[in-house]
Amino acid sequence: MKTGSARFPHIDSVVYISEKHVQRLPDGRLAFGLGIFEAIALEEQYWKAGLLDLIANRWAHYRTRTPVVYKGMDEGEFDTVFDVPKQMRRYEAWKLAYKRNPYLRPLTDSALRVHFHRCVALNSLSFVKGGWPKPPDEFTRTHNPAIW
């Protein structure tokens, strides 16, 4: 191979379609990654660029029933799609569910601490035999019941 020459001069472009990388659009739809890499030879035959746009639009319509939404997106903005097995352990399902919807992420440290204490308090009630113990009267007068 000579310096400065094309390694594969007969390839004008490459279309890379990935269904393992996804980004949620502002309207809630999912966008899959599609990369089009063009060689210099494509400039001489401009009709091939139209063919590449046609391929991208047809694929987008096949997958989402809409045309291509956004071009020139940074590849770092896409999330990886994980394969979900037919059977998985409960903790793996919880982990996957939280990856899909990280609902605690916007909480501040103090709000997360309060959420943790509520979870611990509610779960500890399942270890009590008999009925639930009633809190003392001075506790109910001094603490705001709205936070429970």
* Residue range 26-74, pLDDT digits in tens: 777 777 888 888 888 788 888 888 898 899 888 888 877 777 766 655 5
Are residues 75 and 19 part of one domain? yes
**Per-residue DSSP letter, 39:** -
Q: Which of 83, 67, 10 is nearest to 34 (CA)?
A: 67
Among the candidates 27, 48, 79, a domain finishes at: 79
pLDDT digits (tens, 9 = 90+) for 117-142: 988 888 887 777 776 666 677 766 65
Q: Is residue 1 part of a domain?
A: no
Q: Write the CB contacts of 24 (distance below 8 Å, at least 6 apart in sequence).
A: 30, 31
Q: How far apart are CA 15 and CA 146, in angstroms?
A: 57
Amino acid at 109: D
Q: Which of 5-9, 10-14, 48-52, 116-120 has the lowest mean pLDDT?
A: 5-9
Give the ranges where the chain is alpha helix by DSSP (H). 47-64, 90-100, 109-124, 137-142
Are residues 26 and 56 part of one domain? yes
Among the candidates 64, 79, 94, a domain finishes at: 79
The predicted model scores a pTM of 0.48
Number of domains in the chain: 2
Q: Is residue 109 part of a domain?
A: yes
Range of the domain at 26: 13-79
Angle at 100 (CA atoms; ends 66, 59), nearest 5 degrees? 20
In the sheet that holds 79-80, the strands lie side by side as 30-38, 13-24, 79-80
Q: Is residue 39 part of a domain?
A: yes
